Structure 1
């Protein structure tokens, strides 16, 4: 049955309206993205500071803080769990968290007729890389040192990146160069390559400034943990006893091995028959000559 066209008209209009709304939403999302990218570029090139940066302790200076601690704890697992919880509670991030057991020595000793006692000495260790809000770095470091039973070393660094940040921002905010026109010795391709290279350089400076801002807001905390040696004791089967044959089988194998050795010796002697004949002839000639000498005397 054919559907009248005036029944299909509302459906077509509704579909077109939905499509137009979807496209309008996509355009708005693209505009929002473009605005956010412009804001990011402006933040990377900003040279405005809310405070006087001539003071070394000015809050507006771009100071990058890092911490590095290696210490012994009572339990590596508990210390790692506590640190990860503390970092997440202050809106930080666990960039890397690795726990492992470093084997020191493994020894097997007799335990029973068919088993061994395996003793393995190992050291539990952990390596963490944490990104902590700069304002919370001291409290996180204090939390770790409070759990430590022995501190191998603790290093705190506060590096000022203000001048590097200003250098990149001022270069990007410099006056626009005059329009370049091709001359006799240049080409349109060379000018295009120059513009591309300049754009790449500006982008690299912006990315470098964004990395500085990221490091200013979030300090990097590197942690190495270890605890006293632990012993892992296991009772395992003795592989030599398990793979060793019974007495009857070993006896038959020994007899067979003896016959094989005797046969190999016999074959070897047979293969040397020319030398044996020469040896016998030599003995006979020697005895004959010896008898003649004795008879002459």
Structure 2
């Protein structure tokens, strides 16, 4: 009886070891390569197009992205002034004419399997397509390289634990390998996210628009009184200047008297000299 039990235990041990070896062999580089190279393709799309109204298009795009299960990564609306002019409207106001162009930018993350349907829906919003492109970037080899390097590093960490676990140098080396292992893992996670969600960059604009705005007149010369009022004010100002001149002469009466007396004496002296 004991011999039978010993045989059964030996058989179970042998089968267990062989199955463990098969599992390890099944997760080797060849199987990882076969499963990975099926496709780690990153899709990115770019579009530039003209629309009737940028703000309305932005709202429609937001609804469409939400419906498709995507998210908006970046959004911007910018108005570029092409020409600006002010003309007289009334005495105290001006009519400002502004010619400008509105441009919009939306960067979205859309599920890769819905990318074609999404871009087709965007095309229907456009009046005119300036440019449309799709880029496929196969990251399968990079992904496979990261996986294989991770396996090698995990095996190296296991060996270090067995041999140099109590040594400081071995611990530092193990930490460096672990950090590198984390970097490869994060890199693969980023690739997975980019494969799952495609990045779509949408640039759109509308035709030049003219905006009319009534603003205050900042030209001070337009606030001057009319001609007749200014003429009357000038006459009043002239009369005031004349009165001031009279007052100045009154202040200088002594000087004026000396000038008159001197002139009379000079004239008398000259007449006597002519008689001689």
Normalising by the smaller structure, the TM-score range is 0.5 to 0.7
* Distance in structure 1 (CA, Å) of the matches to 2:95 and 2:75: 33
Closer, same or farther in 2 for the Cα pair 1:214/1:47, shift >3 Å?
farther
Choose which of 53, 71, 77 in structure 1 pairs with 2:55.
Answer: 77
Give the superposition deviation at 1:192: 3.9
Structure 1 segments, 4+ long, off by >4 Å, are 46-54, 242-249
Partner of 2:178: 199
In structure 2, do the counterparts of structure 1 residues 52 and 205 end up closer, same or farther at CA, with 3 Å as the change threshold?
A: closer
Q: Cα offset for 1:196?
A: 2.5
For residue 188 of structure 2, what is the aligned residue in structure 1? 209
Residue of structure 2 equivalent to 1:123: 101
List runs of 5+ in structure 2 lacking aligned partners: 1-28, 242-276
Give the structure with the larger helix fraction: 2
- Taking structure 2 as the reference length, the TM-score comes to 0.64
- Cα-to-partner distance string for 1:89-116 (whole Å, 9 max, x where unaligned): 1211111121222221211112222221
1:51 to 1:205, Cα distance in 2 relative to 1, 3 A: closer
Secondary structure of 1:65's partner? strand
Q: 1:113 to 1:147 in 2, by over 3 A?
A: same
Match of 1:229 in 2: 208
Matches within 5 A, 1:109-188: 109-174=87-152, 176-177=155-156, 178-179=159-160, 181=164, 188=168
Flag the 1:209–1:47 CA change in 2: closer, same or farther, 3 A: farther
Q: CA deviation at 1:47?
A: 8.7
Equivalent in 210, 215, 218 of residue 239 of structure 1: 218
| Higher CA-based Rg | 2
C-alpha separation between the residues in 1 aligned to 2:30 and 2:95?
Answer: 69
Displacement of 1:149 = 1.5
Query: Paired residues, what number?
Result: 198
CA distance in 1, matches of 2:196, 2:84: 47
> Which secondary structure does the structure 1 equivalent of 2:74 belong to?
strand
Q: Which runs of 5+ in 1 are unaligned?
A: 1-45, 55-59, 257-297
Distance 1:82 1:243, change over 3 A: same
Q: Secondary structure at the match of 1:176?
A: helix
